Structure 1
């Protein structure tokens, strides 16, 4: 037991380079291991696994409880006095002793994944934060129930033998990520955000678990939507600014150096502005840019940093800098993951780690406040489509499809300078291509499905698959408008499955903790009380955030076409990455491995190389699976031996 536990925790040294600990109760058959990235209470009193003062509870915990000092005051008022240190881990244990686990979690404001052993009931409880900032995997491996912050910890167990989940491959080809509760492995799962899982003495090897929620976004929306009495705009704006300021202030709590990612966009600029407003010294900010000017936003961030007076660091990445990262991606992400912005996210995390141990970000604002373009143009498309006969839709789709995205760019870019700012888009041809793919949609949800899907029919590519999983959830709250339904689906799918996975793995891969003030659940709940016109106004998203940011940053430093956090991968695949990609996509190799039909992949690769189409997203999905599978091959061969 000890050797397995040591081997499993050793795989997570990057998540916790400062300390490690093991705790084993052989009689009960429970073993807990921990790696620590010390943020609060750097003394030995913060060591984990940590036992409660009574000895009943033993805890391992990854994350931060931002209101733990307020919780300590509440506990003190109730008579609790057994403090040894100042860590939030000890605060949690005291609260478990006084209030129980579920009530404690509901009182917490923070991000976390944790495992709590109750020595009295002999019950293990796993819990994950409300929005899914911190990861938690679990499953049976033989007769052992295993869990950990990353899949590599589970794979390190000597009885590991999980097979590959082909449904998960289909999801990754469609979405670029594998949505919870599934993973790339059969029988291994992600604990969903806001959920608990109890392992009782009655659990038998191989049994399935019913998880339960302690906080539910759909339940909250269902209980509050259309029942809020709205205040006027100045009051709503002031209330949100107060909430965000408090969230930022609490998330600046740290015993180690702290800074922020700054892209120069609305989200990160607002977070940094609120940080600087509450700091007595310049906030450390970080951004990266590219030598390719069309992808370079470093100048915007530099101007915002200069205006706010931050201590700014930027790094201009060359193609070599970015491509050197690619071999590390399968190890970082543990399962196929193909959001291309994983590359710049890792670059900026590496940059920040040279100066700080904690970095705040603007993640979550797009999903909560209507920041993605699809929230306004998808509804406009549907309004027009539903009145058009099918033959007209098909004809229009065929007309638009005669030119690929690059050809449309060449036609449309010269016209963009004549358009108002809010109507300009980076890569207009790609936007037009996506719009054309929605023309045969049968419902608003079908438009969303088509917009978020890379491979539209992954069952035609993944061998041994009859039907690919549908990305549309079944628990969408009633009464939401089409844009609100898209925002809900992104907040419960794309945000935890893609954005937060990307940020957590890249940052923790360099031992950097990230925090997202927009994901404070009080901000999330407030956002869902706001009427849609305060989020999307005159074709412009995040409208209320813009009103707040106006207090800190001149509008002319922020207003510009949205570029996204991209890389020029389409060109790299034709040049610097061509040999690497051709090796992974070789038809003979694909046939031998048996996961993909080589024909559609070979056709897209041929068209991409010829420059007639830009298939970077679809090819990157396959390449990231192939790179991951290649990395897994030694493990698979060892198991077979």
Structure 2
């Protein structure tokens, strides 16, 4: 696991400054504290920060082929590299290292751009072929590893694992993209491929970007893989359970290869517990497990984690986070994420990575299970809404449920079944708009009230819904559950979950591996009927039943808690003064984005207990922290 960076001149005439390349490369030194490497030649600079995990002695980067004509900088792991080595040797390629990085170099020589189809793993890499005068960038299928890039005003190209590499270039223009602000306040993150700054981009998951010397135009990323929900498997439910266990076991086994200490996160949820149970079955020694708990019992899953740890005799470590103890992290997170990022679970994720790194260099997680098996409550609610939408035409639903959604109170204080405002609003929409509505942190009407008229005009009619519309057009499925799962894979999983885990792990030089995001496993699960996933009103049905012999009943069949924090209470108590000072301060007012009277109302209503505006206030607080850090108000490094 590493950080990569680079500079490219399409004309090949510019000599890049070594000191500049070193500086932008080292700004992400947290991603690779073990070694750094640079390579420069006319029109090209490649930088690398290394976290040594495999082939500790000879895996340095940039890594070259035998004659030095091909060079690569690589972030990630290729889990099938040992299977590819003999195949490439049979084609005449000689290996000088035991690293998976060298496999990519020879795979490029053998198969060109199609090499990515042969790679099973998480990766982002940049490969330079001097003979072909080609720079080739690639990102893994599910976007576990990041890649950012920009074209600079002088026509040169800069890329890096983190956005801070790109923005550290002195020629980069730090102009905020209004459309990115709209997306952030809708989703809590800026959706790939957009970045918070105009001119910067994220290479989308499952895409490559090929730059050739002498190209007259700026090439666009090209997709090489997509997830296809066929839901057409003919396996019986029992046979599918057996094959699921075997496939999960294979995905975990592939991720146990490391030349450094390895462990797992154990939250007490179904997914991480299943990964730990599988690891224990594959290991001759106790698995190292780490968990974070909260002093608020409504948010504390540590007892469930302890049950699993005791069952499998893991070497288990637990830390409790108390309210008011972690808020200095707000500025740290703003620096790490480079963009406004509003998922409050970034706080405990940062802490569990920090704790894990004291004992291991690699940790396996259970991320991806809910997306694969329909495990979120929103998935079940969407299917219920779809049943209504299927019986009533859109025009009738708009006339019936639209007024109800408008006038029904936002009853945050009421029992969950009585909080019907969002449901009424969703029933007045088509399927894609309704799911976007469900997924939004601040919904359309809330954003319109928050944004100033001037800022709304700068959007030119753009709405965050356009992101969901674009992806839904490529889903190619009529299955209601499959559609929203596809949207999750394209939006939430890549831009929220994977971003959160990558930055939190790399902040502590910890490599996190996600077996439930193995692309072959994910594609196989997508062939299973949706009735295997949500069954009898229960999400992740086949996954839970497959692991019933291996996990405690209380872990498998309890209400999903999620890796959340007691945010509403924190914002009313220890963060109360900070929220008011930050959100009503000069920086937010001068941005011109926000209506001060709306911000003041959100604060007052939340503090009084009349409404729960925790999501909106946290989103605003993290945006203010981003503005402050990006203005140079906070030093890190």
- Same fold judged by TM-score > 0.5? yes
CA contact (8 A) 1:18 1:36 kept: yes
Distance 2:434 2:617 in 1: 22
CA contact (8 A) 1:117 1:125 kept: yes
Q: Secondary structure at the match of 1:46?
A: coil
Return the match for 1:56 from 69, 76, 81: 69
Matches within 5 A, 1:263-274: 263-274=267-278
Matches within 5 A, 1:51-450: 51-80=64-93, 82-100=94-112, 102-143=113-154, 144-203=156-215, 208-217=218-227, 220-221=228-229, 225=230, 228-384=232-388, 387=392, 390=398, 392-394=400-402, 396-397=404-405, 400-401=408-409, 404-405=411-412, 407-408=413-414, 412=415, 428=416, 432=420, 434-439=422-427, 441-450=428-437
Equivalent residue, structure 1, for 2:19: 3
Return the match for 1:472 from 468, 476, 493: 468
Cα deviation code 1:391-441 (max 9, x no counterpart): 65256446752x631x21xxx4xxxxxxxxxxxxxxx379655435424x2
Equivalent residue, structure 1, for 2:483: 485
Equivalent residue, structure 2, for 1:34: 48
Distance 1:367 1:277 in 2: 25
Cα deviation code 1:94-124 (max 9, x no counterpart): 2222222x23211111001000001001110
Judged with a 3 Å threshold, the aligned counterparts in structure 2 of structure 1 residues 400 and 494 are, in CA distance, closer, same or farther, namely same
Q: Secondary structure at the match of 2:468?
A: coil
Cα deviation code 1:481-534 (max 9, x no counterpart): 222111110011110010100010111111101000011111011011000111
Distance 1:304 1:338 in 2: 30
Equivalent residue, structure 2, for 1:415: none
Q: Secondary structure at the match of 1:240?
A: helix
Equivalent residue, structure 1, for 2:10: none
CA contact (8 A) 2:304 2:554 kept: no
CA contact (8 A) 1:308 1:553 kept: no
Shift of residue 557, structure 1, vs aligned partner: 3.5
Shift of residue 8, structure 1, vs aligned partner: 0.5
The Cα RMSD (Å) is: 2.0
Distance 1:298 1:65 in 2: 33
Query: TM-score, normalization: structure 1?
Result: 0.90
Q: Secondary structure at the match of 2:158?
A: strand
CA contact (8 A) 2:402 2:425 kept: no
Q: Secondary structure at the match of 1:133?
A: coil
Shift of residue 459, structure 1, vs aligned partner: 4.8
Shift of residue 596, structure 1, vs aligned partner: 2.0
Judged with a 3 Å threshold, the aligned counterparts in structure 2 of structure 1 residues 394 and 97 are, in CA distance, closer, same or farther, namely closer
CA contact (8 A) 1:473 1:489 kept: no
CA contact (8 A) 2:294 2:300 kept: yes
Equivalent residue, structure 1, for 2:573: 575
Distance 1:519 1:350 in 2: 23
Q: Does residue 1:455 correspond to 2:442, yes or no?
A: yes
Q: Does residue 1:593 correspond to 2:591, yes or no?
A: yes
Shift of residue 244, structure 1, vs aligned partner: 1.1
Q: Does residue 1:15 correspond to 2:2, yes or no?
A: no
Equivalent residue, structure 1, for 2:41: 25
CA contact (8 A) 1:21 1:33 kept: yes
CA contact (8 A) 1:404 1:429 kept: no
Q: Secondary structure at the match of 1:321?
A: coil
Cα deviation code 1:432-482 (max 9, x no counterpart): 55435424x221222212101122223553413333232313334333322
Return the match for 2:618 from 606, 617, 620: 620
Distance 2:421 2:434 in 1: 13
Distance 1:370 1:231 in 2: 19
Distance 2:565 2:450 in 1: 26
Judged with a 3 Å threshold, the aligned counterparts in structure 2 of structure 1 residues 253 and 434 are, in CA distance, closer, same or farther, namely farther
Shift of residue 77, structure 1, vs aligned partner: 3.1
Shift of residue 156, structure 1, vs aligned partner: 1.6
Q: Secondary structure at the match of 1:529?
A: coil
Query: TM-score, normalization: structure 2?
Result: 0.91
CA contact (8 A) 2:362 2:511 kept: yes
CA contact (8 A) 2:148 2:163 kept: yes
Q: Tell me, which stretches of 5 or more residues in structure 2 are unaligned?
A: 1-16
